[in-house]
Structure 1
Amino acid sequence: MNQQTEQFQTYFNNLIAQRQLSHGYLFTGDDLPGKRAVVKSVGQALACPSFAEKGQACQNCEVCERISADQYPDILTIEPDGKSVRVDQIRELKDWLVKSPVEGLFKIAVIEAAESMNPSAANALLTFLEEPVANVHMFLLAKEAEQLLPTIRSRVQQIHFQPDDQAFIIEQLQNQGVTSAHAQIIARFSSETVERLVEDYDENNIQNWFLALNQFYNLLATGNRSAFVVIQSRLKPFLSVQQTLDSIDYLLMLNHSTIRQLTASNSTESPKVGIQAKFVQQLLAQRSLAITHLLNVNQTLFEVKQRVSANVSPQLAFERLAIKLCQWR
């Protein structure tokens, strides 16, 4: 199991411990074994009798072993029937989801190759995502988020699994004129976003954007009401709809990195993401952060992304974000 998978498992353990596991997630990237391992880890954390005491599944009990072997009745995986996931499969899945759990207190549905859903299947799934059921969690596994309907993407939280060949991607970006520090960050975005950022790349402009977002995140993470001022003073030039959506993805990256470092068993270990890593290290060294607040930051950013995707003014959405997150102290 690689370090990235372990970090995501820790991240989801914290969500479950704080009762903040969302109803829907989209796992993107090429690391299918890692995605599957994280989903199984979520199921084990929800079902294992030892989780409440230890904060993680034991991996050894009969329940954990059955989940690892895909033998747990309340976890269902859908795979493409031929080249696509068909509408009949989604309808059968929906019928299964609304029934009471057989053994546990939850249900988990996994759709592999979710990008292969035909339009009818995707629309059938959308009706379920629009009215989530308590204690039912959906995991969509896809290589690229952009291959799914925007309406589906806006109703699930996206987590990107970095490819093992990320060093090659960073090298390609540098060959296109992107600085090393920026390439390490840009490589973490989806391929569509990477293409857009490289096409419009300006070193000074993107540096100012990243630094403004770093400052904004610092204030959000610590509940500092100055976050509201930063929207006007530093972020306003970057508040087109598309750049706001990219900004939220960047803030989610920062938040995930902060949570993973804050909860890592080896607190001296840091992700290799250049200026972003340096910023997160400084934030953790100088501030006392509450994991419950950071998990709330994550959920609120997701809600803001939904609003902006639904044509709410980016500035207004960010102002509401600052007001909500900076009332906690």
Structure 2
Amino acid sequence: MRIEDNLRSIQPIVFNQLQKTIKKKQLTHAYLFEGDSGTGKKNMALWVAASLFCQNLVDSLPCQECTSCVRVLKQVHPDVIEIAPDGLSIKVEQVRQLKSEFSKSGVEGQQKVFIIEDAEKMTPGAANSLLKFLEEPNGKAIAFLLTTAKQRLLPTILSRCQLIHFRNLSKQRLLDELEKKQLDSSQSALLVHLTNSLETAVLMSQDEWFHEASKIGFRWFVQMITKKDDSFIFIQTDIMPHFKERNQHLLAIDLVLLAYRDVLKVHYETIDILAYPQYREQIEKIAKQMSGKKLSCSIESILQSRKKLESNVSAQGVFEQLTLIVTKD
């Protein structure tokens, strides 16, 4: 699928807005694309950039076939410069280098485009350094700041960029795309509850560790919800050996949370995509045996446990405390 068709499909409002702006030649010097991962922010920035370098514009829009378009979309054009976090943050040195590039003429013309990924991860020094550029824009340079958390950006940066919100992909839309790629339907159903990104979902589907993790996560849910005596042993023998890193600990909690939410959906006969459709019969049986109040309390406990993990509390302690709480009568 051409990038234009994909963007038009997943972000029709943003696409139409920018399409009109491009045709009227009214692009501003700085944009802030805000939205969750996988919502098309990067590709939209590249598509707009392609419109500035295209050799064969079609109704003022990029042809996506000429040498310039292909290089922009493949991220190898010398006048489209990208920066991303170096480790956990974007450093002031990276922004200074970016500003140095801004001061130069384009390699193949006057136009230059800059894309800053995860802009919310700029250090205070980097953000202040960028602010000086935004206050004194260069007419031949356009900057795209991409973020999943605009509230973490300086208000002064927000005020100098045109904010464009990218809506989340619907679960059904993402599920349809995964099925086109012939992914296992039950695995796809779980993936659309864990990510909004098609690319991330495909990568996760190819990860044997994740396949095993999803099975262990559901078994842990069954252990807890049926009040098995060996629930605590399961944490030591299965959970901790497989889920070793902090992000994996969070995934373990999310897998259990999704199972509980499936039960709650079935309990209240909510029409929605189940995360574990392959276990529907088992989920329906559990839903008949539990009250909505008990399910809601368990879900709240799981959410509290997730917050503790985010605060770097010991994972095994969090898992054991959660198991103790939800297995109470």
TM-score in terms of structure 2 length: 0.48
Q: Which structure has the greater CA radius of gyration? A: 2
TM-score in terms of structure 1 length: 0.48
More relative contact order, 1 or 2 (CA 8 Å, 6+ apart): 1
